[in-house]
């Protein structure tokens, strides 16, 4: 596999990692239509766990089939496909080697009342299914955040020892955070930095609002004049919080929205120096032809062509 200078520079930032783990990161970074650019578009399909099957797939019924998501990611030329154990296993033989896969090893569900996630997969599963990485969600601010971090620490160490990469979804939530606080500028940056400190190779956060939520941080943001007026400026601060951009940072697509709104978000990620997007519901809840057209436009934006 040929490695571009851009990808080599990214990998050089991961000092202390094994050659096996760097090879898995390179596999993701060199895959698809954005291969070699340092940009990523990943399809995540864990929403069946999080929201239930009908809420996830009824608007586009072919998406009930796990093979549909593999096919969509491959046809669109995406960087990777992420899903829980059952979804990955249901297509692992048919699509072996066709696209890098990320095994999501913990999940929540909308029937639960706690801000926690159950561990639903492991490193052995990821190796058996030929995955490039494991994925794990933490909820900074939750009553269970420390337990989740300890679980991640153990799973990440095991994954790295086996030559896998580690992707961390870092979503702030908890009793001290109101809804605006979950996507506040300072809180998203804090959450991304925590994921980097926990050893994540690829970090996923939500797009930030201009709100500064943490009372203790407000004076610092004001005194130092940290720019936050535009989404691109806010993205740039979160990039900076990920070891000055030495960790790959991707942003979620969030709930279904208009195409123009989605494209504007992608341009902001690009202009702010983010590494890409991880877009689920905005992709698979649309008819396939429409989703492929949308993903082609997103890829073109990251290529600087749109």
pLDDT digits (tens, 9 = 90+) for 236-265: 999 999 999 999 999 997 666 689 999 999
pLDDT on residue 256: 61
Which residues are tagged catalytic?
204
pLDDT on residue 244: 98
160 and 21 Cβ atoms separated by less than 8 Å: yes
Rounded-to-integer distance, Cα 135 and Cα 85, Å: 11
Give the residues across from 81 on adjacent strands.
43, 101
18 phi, psi to nearest 5 deg: -75, 155
263 and 290 Cβ atoms separated by less than 8 Å: no
Rounded-to-integer distance, Cα 81 and Cα 46, Å: 11
CB atoms within 10 A of CB 212: 20
69 and 101 Cβ atoms separated by less than 8 Å: no
pLDDT on residue 48: 87
| 272 CA to centre of own chain | 17
Strand ranges (E), the chain? 40-44, 80-83, 101-104, 106-107, 118-119, 133-138, 165-170, 202-205, 248-252, 276-278
Answer whether residue 117 shows pLDDT above 70. Answer: yes
Answer whether residue 1 shows pLDDT above 70. Answer: yes
For 269, residues 6+ apart whose C-beta sits below 8 A from its C-beta are 207, 235, 251, 276, 277
For 63, residues 6+ apart whose C-beta sits below 8 A from its C-beta are 45, 56, 57, 69, 284, 285
pLDDT tier at 131 (50, 70, 90 boundaries)? Answer: very high
Rounded-to-integer distance, Cα 25 and Cα 200, Å: 12
Share of the chain above pLDDT 70, in %: 99
Rounded-to-integer distance, Cα 296 and Cα 76, Å: 7
Tell me which residue of 210, 140, 211 sits closest to 169, measured CA to CA. 140
pTM exceeds 0.95, yes or no: yes
Tell me the fold of 5-302.
Answer: TIM Barrel (3.20.20)
Q: What is the CA radius of gyration of the chain?
A: 18
Q: Which of 3-7, 215-219, 251-255, 284-288 has the lowest mean pLDDT?
A: 251-255
Question: Residue 211 corresponds to which tokens in the numbers above?
Answer: 């709100």
pLDDT on residue 246: 98
């Amino acid at each position: 596999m040929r490695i571009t200078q851009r990808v080599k520079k990214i990998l050089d930032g991961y000092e202390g990692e094994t050659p096996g783990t760097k090879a898995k990161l390179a596999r993701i970074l060199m895959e698809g239509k954005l291969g070699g650019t340092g940009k990523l578009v990943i399809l995540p399909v864990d929403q069946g766990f999080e929201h239930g099957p009908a809420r996830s797939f009824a608007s586009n019924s072919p998406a009930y089939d796990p093979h549909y998501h593999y096919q969509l990611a491959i046809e669109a030329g995406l960087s990777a496909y992420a899903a829980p154990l059952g979804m990955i296993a249901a297509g692992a033989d048919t699509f072996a080697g066709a696209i890098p896969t990320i095994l999501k090893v913990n999940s929540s569900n909308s029937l639960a009342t706690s801000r926690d996630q159950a561990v639903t997969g492991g490193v052995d599963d990821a190796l058996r299914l030929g995955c490039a990485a494991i994925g794990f969600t933490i909820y900074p601010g939750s009553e269970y955040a420390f337990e989740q971090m300890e679980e991640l620490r153990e799973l990440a160490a095991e994954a790295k020892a086996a030559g896998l990469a580690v992707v961390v979804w870092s979503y702030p939530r908890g009793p001290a955070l109101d809804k605006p606080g979950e996507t506040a500028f300072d809180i998203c940056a804090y959450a991304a930095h925590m994921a980097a400190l926990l050893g994540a190779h690829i970090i996923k956060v939500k797009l930030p609002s201009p709100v500064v939520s943490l009372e203790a941080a407000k004076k610092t943001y004001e005194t130092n004049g940290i720019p936050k007026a535009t989404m691109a400026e806010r993205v740039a601060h979160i990039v900076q919080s990920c070891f000055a951009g030495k960790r790959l940072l991707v942003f979620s697509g969030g709930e279904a929205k208009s195409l123009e709104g989605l494209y504007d978000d992608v341009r902001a990620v690009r202009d702010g120096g983010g590494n890409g997007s991880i877009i689920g519901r905005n992709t698979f809840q649309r008819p396939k032809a429409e989703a492929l057209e949308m993903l082609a436009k997103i890829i073109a934006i990251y290529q600087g062509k749109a």
